[in-house]
Protein backbone atom coordinates (compact mmCIF):
# COMPACT_ATOMS: atom_id res chain seq x y z
CA UNK A 1 0.00 0.00 0.00
CA UNK A 2 1.28 3.47 -0.89
CA UNK A 3 2.04 5.85 1.97
CA UNK A 4 2.29 9.61 2.55
CA UNK A 5 4.96 11.43 4.55
CA UNK A 6 3.75 14.53 6.37
CA UNK A 7 6.48 16.68 7.89
CA UNK A 8 6.16 19.54 10.37
CA UNK A 9 9.37 21.58 10.53
CA UNK A 10 9.24 23.73 13.66
CA UNK A 11 11.85 25.88 15.35
CA UNK A 12 12.46 23.31 18.09
CA UNK A 13 11.44 19.96 16.59
CA UNK A 14 10.76 18.29 13.27
CA UNK A 15 7.87 15.81 13.36
CA UNK A 16 7.82 13.25 10.56
CA UNK A 17 4.55 11.33 10.25
CA UNK A 18 3.79 8.33 8.04
CA UNK A 19 0.22 7.46 7.04
CA UNK A 20 -1.65 5.61 4.32
CA UNK A 21 -3.10 7.31 1.24
CA UNK A 22 -6.60 6.59 2.55
CA UNK A 23 -8.12 10.07 3.16
CA UNK A 24 -10.26 8.78 6.02
CA UNK A 25 -7.29 7.23 7.86
CA UNK A 26 -5.69 9.72 10.25
CA UNK A 27 -3.45 7.28 12.08
CA UNK A 28 0.23 8.26 11.98
CA UNK A 29 3.45 6.57 12.88
CA UNK A 30 5.77 9.41 13.72
CA UNK A 31 9.19 10.44 14.88
CA UNK A 32 10.16 13.69 16.57
CA UNK A 33 13.71 14.93 16.07
CA UNK A 34 15.47 18.10 17.19
CA UNK A 35 15.52 20.84 14.57
CA UNK A 36 19.06 21.42 13.33
CA UNK A 37 19.26 24.81 11.65
CA UNK A 38 22.57 23.78 10.08
CA UNK A 39 21.37 20.42 8.73
CA UNK A 40 22.87 19.27 5.44
CA UNK A 41 21.22 17.61 2.45
CA UNK A 42 23.04 14.37 3.31
CA UNK A 43 21.76 14.46 6.89
CA UNK A 44 18.18 14.91 5.71
CA UNK A 45 18.52 11.92 3.37
CA UNK A 46 20.05 9.75 6.10
CA UNK A 47 17.38 10.79 8.63
CA UNK A 48 14.47 9.97 6.31
CA UNK A 49 16.11 6.69 5.27
CA UNK A 50 16.68 5.63 8.88
CA UNK A 51 13.14 6.52 9.96
CA UNK A 52 11.60 4.54 7.11
CA UNK A 53 13.83 1.58 7.95
CA UNK A 54 12.80 1.74 11.60
CA UNK A 55 9.15 1.75 10.50
CA UNK A 56 9.77 -1.19 8.15
CA UNK A 57 8.73 0.88 5.14
CA UNK A 58 10.35 0.79 1.69
CA UNK A 59 11.22 4.09 0.03
CA UNK A 60 9.39 3.08 -3.16
CA UNK A 61 6.12 2.87 -1.20
CA UNK A 62 6.12 6.62 -0.47
CA UNK A 63 3.91 8.40 -3.00
CA UNK A 64 3.77 11.96 -1.62
CA UNK A 65 5.63 14.21 0.81
CA UNK A 66 3.93 17.30 2.26
CA UNK A 67 5.78 19.78 4.44
CA UNK A 68 4.79 22.67 6.69
CA UNK A 69 7.87 24.69 7.60
CA UNK A 70 8.47 27.76 9.73
CA UNK A 71 12.26 27.43 9.35
CA UNK A 72 12.97 28.65 5.81
CA UNK A 73 16.73 28.27 6.18
CA UNK A 74 16.40 24.46 6.10
CA UNK A 75 13.77 24.21 3.34
CA UNK A 76 16.27 23.70 0.52
CA UNK A 77 18.07 20.96 2.43
CA UNK A 78 14.82 19.10 3.08
CA UNK A 79 13.68 19.52 -0.50
CA UNK A 80 16.93 18.19 -1.96
CA UNK A 81 17.50 15.51 0.68
CA UNK A 82 14.01 14.05 0.28
CA UNK A 83 14.16 14.20 -3.49
CA UNK A 84 17.50 12.38 -3.43
CA UNK A 85 16.36 9.53 -1.19
CA UNK A 86 12.75 9.13 -2.39
CA UNK A 87 12.82 10.46 -5.93
CA UNK A 88 9.88 12.70 -4.98
CA UNK A 89 9.79 16.49 -4.94
CA UNK A 90 8.14 17.40 -1.64
CA UNK A 91 5.37 19.99 -1.58
CA UNK A 92 5.87 22.85 0.86
CA UNK A 93 2.45 24.11 1.89
CA UNK A 94 1.83 27.86 1.88
CA UNK A 95 -1.27 29.86 2.74
CA UNK A 96 -2.09 29.98 -0.99
CA UNK A 97 -2.45 26.19 -1.05
CA UNK A 98 -5.18 26.12 1.58
CA UNK A 99 -8.83 26.33 0.44
CA UNK A 100 -9.92 28.56 3.28
CA UNK A 101 -10.97 32.19 3.51
CA UNK A 102 -8.36 34.14 5.46
CA UNK A 103 -9.23 37.40 7.21
CA UNK A 104 -5.74 38.78 7.81
CA UNK A 105 -4.08 42.00 6.63
CA UNK A 106 -1.09 40.22 5.07
CA UNK A 107 -1.69 36.50 4.63
CA UNK A 108 1.96 35.98 3.66
CA UNK A 109 2.99 36.84 7.23
CA UNK A 110 1.10 33.90 8.72
CA UNK A 111 3.08 30.78 9.52
CA UNK A 112 1.89 27.86 7.42
CA UNK A 113 1.50 25.82 10.61
CA UNK A 114 -1.19 28.18 11.93
CA UNK A 115 -3.27 27.96 8.77
CA UNK A 116 -2.83 24.19 8.38
CA UNK A 117 -4.12 23.49 11.91
CA UNK A 118 -6.97 25.96 11.43
CA UNK A 119 -7.94 24.25 8.18
CA UNK A 120 -7.77 20.84 9.86
CA UNK A 121 -9.93 22.03 12.75
CA UNK A 122 -12.59 23.24 10.31
CA UNK A 123 -12.55 20.04 8.27
CA UNK A 124 -12.43 17.59 11.17
CA UNK A 125 -14.16 19.30 14.08
CA UNK A 126 -16.17 22.49 13.70
CA UNK A 127 -16.77 25.62 11.62
CA UNK A 128 -16.23 27.55 14.87
CA UNK A 129 -13.05 26.63 16.71
CA UNK A 130 -10.05 27.86 18.65
CA UNK A 131 -6.69 26.17 18.15
CA UNK A 132 -4.01 26.39 20.84
CA UNK A 133 -0.61 25.23 19.56
CA UNK A 134 2.12 24.90 22.19
CA UNK A 135 5.49 25.06 20.47
CA UNK A 136 8.50 27.38 20.51
CA UNK A 137 5.83 30.05 20.44
CA UNK A 138 2.32 29.45 21.76
CA UNK A 139 -0.32 30.43 19.22
CA UNK A 140 -4.06 30.86 19.74
CA UNK A 141 -5.99 30.98 16.46
CA UNK A 142 -9.69 31.57 15.85
CA UNK A 143 -11.90 30.08 13.15
CA UNK A 144 -15.43 31.43 12.77
CA UNK A 145 -18.00 30.18 10.26
CA UNK A 146 -15.19 28.22 8.61
CA UNK A 147 -13.02 31.32 8.06
CA UNK A 148 -9.59 32.00 9.56
CA UNK A 149 -9.92 35.14 11.67
CA UNK A 150 -6.45 35.64 13.15
CA UNK A 151 -5.25 35.09 16.69
CA UNK A 152 -2.60 35.78 19.30
CA UNK A 153 1.03 34.75 19.81
CA UNK A 154 2.75 34.22 23.16
CA UNK A 155 6.25 32.99 23.97
CA UNK A 156 6.41 29.22 24.28
CA UNK A 157 6.62 27.59 27.69
CA UNK A 158 10.16 26.30 27.17
CA UNK A 159 11.16 29.62 25.57
CA UNK A 160 10.01 31.46 28.69
CA UNK A 161 11.76 29.00 30.99
CA UNK A 162 15.00 29.37 29.05
CA UNK A 163 14.79 33.16 29.31
CA UNK A 164 14.38 32.89 33.09
CA UNK A 165 17.35 30.53 33.39
CA UNK A 166 19.47 32.93 31.36
CA UNK A 167 18.49 36.10 33.20
CA UNK A 168 17.92 34.97 36.81
CA UNK A 169 21.01 33.35 38.31
CA UNK A 170 19.16 31.70 41.22
CA UNK A 171 16.39 30.15 39.10
CA UNK A 172 17.06 26.39 38.86
CA UNK A 173 16.41 24.28 35.79
CA UNK A 174 13.33 22.13 36.28
CA UNK A 175 11.36 19.38 34.59
CA UNK A 176 7.94 20.43 33.31
CA UNK A 177 5.77 18.17 35.41
CA UNK A 178 2.12 19.10 35.92
CA UNK A 179 1.87 21.16 39.14
CA UNK A 180 -0.22 19.72 41.93
CA UNK A 181 -1.04 23.07 43.51
CA UNK A 182 -1.09 26.74 42.60
CA UNK A 183 0.88 27.60 45.74
CA UNK A 184 4.28 25.96 45.53
CA UNK A 185 6.28 24.98 48.59
CA UNK A 186 9.65 24.79 46.85
CA UNK A 187 11.23 27.00 44.21
CA UNK A 188 10.75 24.23 41.63
CA UNK A 189 7.05 23.93 42.50
CA UNK A 190 6.64 27.70 42.31
CA UNK A 191 8.18 27.81 38.83
CA UNK A 192 6.01 24.97 37.57
CA UNK A 193 2.90 26.65 38.92
CA UNK A 194 3.82 30.05 37.54
CA UNK A 195 4.76 28.79 34.10
CA UNK A 196 2.13 26.12 33.47
CA UNK A 197 -0.88 27.50 35.31
CA UNK A 198 0.11 31.04 34.35
CA UNK A 199 0.23 30.13 30.67
CA UNK A 200 -3.05 28.22 30.95
CA UNK A 201 -4.83 31.22 32.45
CA UNK A 202 -3.32 33.59 29.89
CA UNK A 203 -4.59 31.33 27.12
CA UNK A 204 -7.98 31.02 28.80
CA UNK A 205 -8.25 34.81 28.99
CA UNK A 206 -7.27 35.26 25.33
CA UNK A 207 -9.88 32.70 24.27
CA UNK A 208 -12.64 34.31 26.34
CA UNK A 209 -11.89 37.83 25.06
CA UNK A 210 -11.40 36.64 21.48
CA UNK A 211 -14.74 34.87 21.46
CA UNK A 212 -16.42 38.09 22.57
CA UNK A 213 -14.84 39.86 19.60
CA UNK A 214 -16.07 37.32 17.05
CA UNK A 215 -19.45 36.75 18.70
CA UNK A 216 -19.08 33.01 19.29
CA UNK A 217 -20.01 31.28 22.54
CA UNK A 218 -19.19 27.58 22.47
CA UNK A 219 -16.62 26.68 19.80
CA UNK A 220 -14.51 23.56 19.72
CA UNK A 221 -11.24 24.29 21.54
CA UNK A 222 -8.42 22.14 20.26
CA UNK A 223 -5.05 21.87 21.98
CA UNK A 224 -2.12 20.64 19.96
CA UNK A 225 1.68 20.71 20.17
CA UNK A 226 4.18 18.98 22.42
CA UNK A 227 3.21 20.60 25.74
CA UNK A 228 -0.55 20.73 25.22
CA UNK A 229 -1.22 18.05 27.82
CA UNK A 230 0.51 20.15 30.50
CA UNK A 231 -1.70 23.23 30.18
CA UNK A 232 -4.91 21.48 29.08
CA UNK A 233 -6.17 20.59 32.60
CA UNK A 234 -5.92 24.21 33.81
CA UNK A 235 -7.95 25.85 31.03
CA UNK A 236 -11.47 25.89 32.45
CA UNK A 237 -13.52 26.16 29.28
CA UNK A 238 -16.05 23.71 27.81
CA UNK A 239 -15.82 21.69 24.61
CA UNK A 240 -12.04 21.23 24.68
CA UNK A 241 -9.94 18.35 23.37
CA UNK A 242 -6.31 17.45 22.70
CA UNK A 243 -5.22 16.43 19.21
CA UNK A 244 -1.44 16.33 18.97
CA UNK A 245 -1.55 15.20 15.34
CA UNK A 246 -3.72 18.09 14.13
CA UNK A 247 -1.04 19.59 11.87
CA UNK A 248 -0.14 16.22 10.34
CA UNK A 249 -3.84 15.60 9.72
CA UNK A 250 -4.12 18.98 8.03
CA UNK A 251 -1.23 18.17 5.72
CA UNK A 252 -2.82 14.86 4.82
CA UNK A 253 -6.12 16.60 4.03
CA UNK A 254 -4.19 18.79 1.60
CA UNK A 255 -2.49 15.87 -0.14
- Catalytic residue positions, numbered: 113
CB 134 within 8 A of CB 228: yes
CB 115 within 8 A of CB 137: no
Strand partners, 183: none
CB 130 within 8 A of CB 217: no
CB 67 within 8 A of CB 97: no
CB 85 within 8 A of CB 48: yes
**Spatial distance between the Cα atoms of 225 and 243, rounded to a whole number of angstroms:** 8
CB 189 within 8 A of CB 175: no
DSSP-assigned states of every residue in 52-113: HHHTT--GGGEEEEEEEES-GGGHHHHHHHHHHHHS--PEEP-GGGS-S-B--S-GGGS-HH
Instruction: Please give the C-alpha separations between residue 213 and each of 65, 100, 202, in angstroms, as whole numbers.
Output: 38, 20, 17
Of 140, 127, 114, 146, the closest CA to residue 218 belongs to 127
Amino acid sequence: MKKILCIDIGNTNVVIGLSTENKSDFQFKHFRITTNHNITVDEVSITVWNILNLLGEKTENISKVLISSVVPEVDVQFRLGIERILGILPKFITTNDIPMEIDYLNRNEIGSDRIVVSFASRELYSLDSVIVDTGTATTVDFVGDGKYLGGAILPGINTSLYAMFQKASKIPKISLETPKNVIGKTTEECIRSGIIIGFAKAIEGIIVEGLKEIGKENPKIIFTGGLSDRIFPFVNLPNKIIDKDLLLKGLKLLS
